[in-house]
Amino acid sequence: MEPDTRSRILDAAEKLLVQHGLEATTLRMITAAAQANLAAVNYHFGSKEALIEAVFRRRLTWLNEQRIAALDAFEAEAKGAPLKPRQIVEAFFGVAIRMAADRNGGQTFMRLLGRTYTEPTDFVRTFLAEEYAEVIARFKAAFFKALPDVPQEEFLWRFHFMMGALSYAISGADALRLLGPIDDSDPDALYARLMSFLIGGLRAPLPALLPAIQSRPVRKPRAKRAA
């Protein structure tokens, strides 16, 4: 084993956390995989929670810096004009999916991250919230400027949906095997596919929210509930 104990533990924890989840991954599994002593986790990190936080912070900080850097580049290029929605999507989701394509740990981490959004452990959620605060604010502002016609609430929901699509795109074959055999080995193809889908969803016509408008007189469906 080349790297030092601390790094080996981080790598092993990353792999095992995405496999078994935050609470079901044991320190004994981690230290065994890292070829370290059980007590090494508490020596180097202090506790299991602190280790998990270190696993996230190691890559998440860098990821969000990359996102902001990409946004900065587009905005510098635009010279004050609103960005195209495609550029903003690229800066946020493109960076993420490229990191997910990085076979050297990034892929594992992004799957872990996507999995964690829907796994609301208290201490992880508060930690994620603070780690995301800046990048969320920046991208919200950019989107509002680019799409002034879209109501704020509507956009937030679409952003949320896009995060879901990204999460599933990254978790890839794990959940996808439900649908049948699929090849997820080509990151470029996945990138192109997700981008196309996201922008299609983002630019979709605004839904008619008023019930009066929604009940269009199309031909009668069977037992369709009012919605």
Partner DNA sequence: TCAGGATTCAAACGTTCGTTTGAAACCAAC
Partner DNA sequence: GTTGGTTTCAAACGAACGTTTGAATCCTGA
Interactions with DNA, residue window 24-53 (CB under 7 A): 25-29, 36-44, 47-49
Among the listed residues 103, 104, 148, 153, the single contact to a second copy using CB under 8 A: 153
The reply to whether 73 sits near DNA by the rule CB under 7 A is no
Q: In the structure encoding, which two tokens stand for residue 188, read together?
A: 């470029």
Q: In the structure encoding, which two tokens stand for residue 175, read together?
A: 């959940």
Site string for a second copy, 96-115 (x = CB under 8 A): --x---------------xx
Alpha-carbon span 26 to 24, nearest angstrom: 6
Q: How far is the CB of 61 from a second copy (least distance, A)?
A: 16
Q: Which C-beta is closer to a second copy: that of 24 or that of 39?
A: 24
The reply to whether 183 sits near a second copy by the rule CB under 8 A is yes
Binding partner of residue 11 among a second copy, DNA, none, CB cut-off 5 to 8 Å per kind = none
Give the footprint of a second copy on residues 53-82 (CB under 8 A).
73-74, 76-77
Amino acid at 120: P
**Closest CA relative to residue 31, chosen from 54, 9, 1, 4:** 9
CB contact at 8 A, 14 and 113: no
Q: How far is the CB of 55 from DNA (least distance, A)?
A: 13
**Dihedral pair phi/psi, residue 177, rounded to 5°:** -60, -20
Binding partner of residue 213 among a second copy, DNA, none, CB cut-off 5 to 8 Å per kind = a second copy
**Cβ–Cβ contacts within 10 Å for residue 211, how many?**
9
The reply to whether 182 sits near a second copy by the rule CB under 8 A is yes
Q: Which C-beta is closer to DNA: that of 52 or that of 198?
A: 52
The reply to whether 145 sits near a second copy by the rule CB under 8 A is no
Q: Which C-beta is closer to DNA: that of 80 or that of 120?
A: 120
**Closest CA relative to residue 170, chosen from 90, 97, 66:** 97
CB-based contacts of 157-160 (< 8 A; 24+ apart in sequence): 158/201, 158/202
CB-based contacts of 173-182 (< 8 A; 24+ apart in sequence): 174/111
Give the interface size with DNA as a residue count (CB under 7 A): 19
Alpha-carbon span 62 to 76, nearest angstrom: 21
Among the listed residues 48, 49, 107, 197, the single contact to a second copy using CB under 8 A: 197
Among the listed residues 31, 64, 108, 171, the single contact to a second copy using CB under 8 A: 171
CB contact at 8 A, 102 and 190: no
Q: By the criterion CB under 7 A, which residues form the site for DNA?
A: 4-5, 25-29, 36-44, 47-49
